[in-house]
Amino acid sequence: MDTPDLKKVVEALLFITNRPLPLEEILDILEEKSLGEKSLRGVIQDISDEYEQRGSPIQIREVAGGFQMATHTAYAPWVRRLYKDETTTRLSASALETLSIVGYKQPITRAEIEEIRGVEVIAVLETLLERRLVKVMGRKETIGRPLVYGTTTEFLRQFGLKSLSDLPALPDTVLPLEQPVAAADAGPGTDTPE
């Protein structure tokens, strides 16, 4: 297959899919023995560059271990209007907090999440499971064999991440919240802040 035809086939595959396509899968579909991942990545970059040069509202993004077409964020308001009944609702603050804990600490049990958050998370986990942002990864080898949770490729796709290593780094230390000491709690002879 010559390069112009190859580009058209790859573009068609990326256009028609509703999920990120890994390079290996595209190569399997193409059945091009002489084409390697590096060359295929170059073909995808050429298509992406063509979109960029003409100012297309479409872009090709590497996300969740594969490639997928997406609209530029500048066009999001119109896309939302088109799909107003089908767009997902926003996650609550508690769901985002739980999701970030799972993202950084996976695999993690519900009890471990609750220990970090300080509140029960059964309903929040159910919501994250329903939205396919979190999945059950197995059971922990400990007493009771609790379920362990981890993020999904849908999590990576929704947050525009190639892999979990793209998550922002956590600070090395977390400063404890300062607890002001009330005057009544202070012992005799101790100074209290003004």
| Range(s) of the domain holding residue 158 | 93-166
pLDDT digits (tens, 9 = 90+) for 139-189: 999 898 999 999 998 898 888 888 888 888 877 655 555 544 444 444 444
In a domain, 54, yes or no: yes
Q: Last residue of a domain, which of 22, 49, 82?
A: 82
CA proximity to 26, closest of 84, 183, 36? 36
* Averaged pLDDT for residues 96-114: 93
Indicate if the pLDDT at residue 87 is higher than 80.
no
Kindly state whether residue 191 falls inside one of the protein's structural domains.
Answer: no
Residues 42 and 69 in one domain: yes
CA gap 22, 42 in Å, rounded: 14
Q: In 3-state terms, what secondary structure has residue 128?
A: helix
Is 61 in the same domain as 130? no
Instruction: Please give the backbone phi and psi of residue 60, each rounded to the nearest 5 degrees, phi first.
Output: -110, 125
Q: What is the pTM of this model?
A: 0.58
Query: Residue 90 has what pLDDT?
Result: 77
- Return the pLDDT at 158: 84
Map residue 131 onto helix, strand or coil: coil
Per-residue pLDDT at 65 exceeds 90: no
Query: Which residue stretches of 106-141 are H helix?
Result: 110-117, 122-130
Strands 134-139 and 58-63: unpaired
- Across 64-68, 87-91, 95-99, 140-144, least confident range: 87-91
Dihedral sign of CA atoms 149, 151, 154, 158 in order: positive
Q: Are residues 103 and 71 in the same domain?
A: no
- Please state, rounded to an integer, the average pLDDT across all residues of the chain: 84
* DSSP type of residue 191: -
Residue 105 inside a domain? The answer is yes
Counting the structural domains of the chain, the total is 2
- The answer to whether residue 189 is domain-embedded is no
**Phi and psi at residue 178, in whole multiples of 5°?**
-75, 130
Cβ 129 vs Cβ 117: under 8 Å: no
Whether residue 100 is found in the same domain as residue 160: yes
Pair (10, 76) in one structural domain? yes
Q: Are residues 20 and 40 in the same domain?
A: yes
Domain end call among 82, 104, 127: 82
Q: Identify the pLDDT of residue 2.
A: 65
Q: What is the CATH number of the domain that holds 143?
A: 1.10.10.10
Do 75 and 101 reside in the same domain of the chain?
no
